[in-house]
Structures are given as C-alpha cells and as structure tokens.
Amino acid sequence: MILVTSAAGHTGRIIVQKLVDAGFEVKATDINPAVTDLPGIKQGVVADLTRADQLDALIANVDSVVEIPPLFVAEEADIGRYLTDRLAEAHKQFIFVSVTHPILSTLRQHIMKRDIEEHMIYTGMLKDYQYTILQPMHYMHNFNPNVVHETGAYNIFYDINTKLSYVAPEDVGDVVVEVAQNPEKHNKATYELVGNDYASPADLVALYNRLTGEHAVAKQVEMTTFLNQAGIQNVYSRDAFRHLASTYSKWGLDGNPNVLRFLLGREPTTYEDYMKQQINF
C-alpha cells in the first residue's frame, strides 16, 4: 500500500487518481475530511501531520509514502525530517514532492524543502532506504479558466508581467507512478519537473482569450486584500505568501524541461492543451 499526504488538495487528488488507475492500493490522508471521499482509495484518513503519533499510525501498514507537504505550514521541515527518519528505519520508499530550485533563499517554502532534501540525502548515505526527490515547477492549476470565465479576470498577488515556468499536475502524477513502480531505478534521484511554457499572468489571459473569444483581464491584487479574501490568517503563511509575491514580482521563476521530457517519454503538457482540458463552459 502507498500513502499519499495532502491528498485532498488539487495536486494530491490528481496523484491519488493516477496511482489508483495504475493499480496501487492507496491510503490517502489530509486534514480535510473530504479525503475520505476520494474515489478508488483503499483507505482515507483525516490526520494532522504535525502530530508524531498520527504520522506513526499513518505509515505503519504502508510500503511507500508520497509526501506532498502541507501548504505554508511552519512545521513543514520538521514533518519531512520525521518522516525521513521513520521511513529509513523501516526501509520503506519515500517519494518527496518538493519544488524546483529549493536553494532559493527568498522563498520560505523552498527553504523548508531544501532542509528536508538535505536530511533525506544524509540519511540515505547512512541507512538502506529508497528515496526519490521530485521538484515540480509552479503548477498550471493556479490558473483556473472556469473562474476567469465567471469573473472576467485573473486575480493574482504578484506582478502580472512577470514570467514563470509551469508544470501540469497530471504530468507530475505520471512521474510519481513511474517512480512508485520502479523504486530501484529511481533510487536517490532528484528530478526537476518543468514544462515547456514560460509565460506571465498577462500571457495566460491572452491565451485564454484566444481560446475562448472572451476579453478577460489580468489584475494584480494587493497582498493583504488577497490574503484576507483567501481566508489566510496564519502569520507564517501570510509571511510566506509575501515572500513569494516579492520573489515572483522581482525575478519570476524558470527551469528546463529536459528531465520531465525524459521521464514522461513524451513532450510535457503545454499550457494551451491544459487550458483546453480544463475549460468546462
């Protein structure tokens, strides 16, 4: 059985479904009770990953773990290190869904993942356990064409002219399946998962308008307004979002698609194809 954490989130749901479709018995966990309703899973468990007793119970009867870290949680690095230690002791496979460029010091969630990756690597040089680090780029699902259709705008918290690279969460799910099916082949590997597109929020809206014939606009929302509208009140999370906005607005974020292309055995999903798949109107 394979455990997937943060399984009720957007990426988590896709990875769970990919694993189910590939024939895996999946235990899915999330703090969100909706995790128990995911189709095809063997077991759904509502759990708090900051609790050691609940983590121990989650991994007790599984062979592998796919950790999608909880979003902007101050204990993120501690959770990852704890999982690493327990899985290494039990000689179980650990697939860690990190981020592209965890070395970037202006992004708090990247620093957390860098620390987890470091601990995984040091531990792997001492103990016999299989691990793989996946480093996905900014997910395509952050642009929701159906919301843009309803509102006439893509509201985002960073500069609308800053360019980023992207990756389709379905492509990440395909890689997770490949790694889970072939743990020896991918043991101790670190893979950047980056698609071909390099575009700004304004570029994405222009693509959306071309596909739909609409006249949507990209709008930068003031950060405090964005955080309040999104219901984000945790002080660590708010600060992490501010660092994210500042970094994206100043530098953007990019990467190279060669590794993802190699792992998929095909071209990565384009933003145009992804958007066409997501349009439901």
All domains of the chain in start order, with CATH: 2-139+167-193 (3.40.50.720)
- The two three-digit tokens of residue 77, written as one number: 């690095």
Q: Is the pLDDT of residue 281 over 80?
A: no
Nearby residues of 276 by Cβ (< 8 Å), 6 or more positions away: 211
Q: Please state, in angstroms and rounded to a whole number, the distance separating the CA atoms of residues 216 and 198.
A: 20
Q: Please state, in angstroms and rounded to a whole number, the distance separating the CA atoms of residues 129 and 92.
A: 6
pTM, 2 dp: 0.96
- 118-168 per-position pLDDT tens digit: 999 999 999 989 999 999 999 999 999 999 999 999 999 999 999 999 999
**DSSP β-bridge partners for residue 122:** none
Q: Please state, in angstroms and rounded to a whole number, the distance separating the CA atoms of residues 48 and 132.
A: 24
- 6-54 per-position pLDDT tens digit: 999 999 999 999 999 999 999 999 999 999 999 999 999 999 999 999 9
Residue with tokens 């949507």: 216
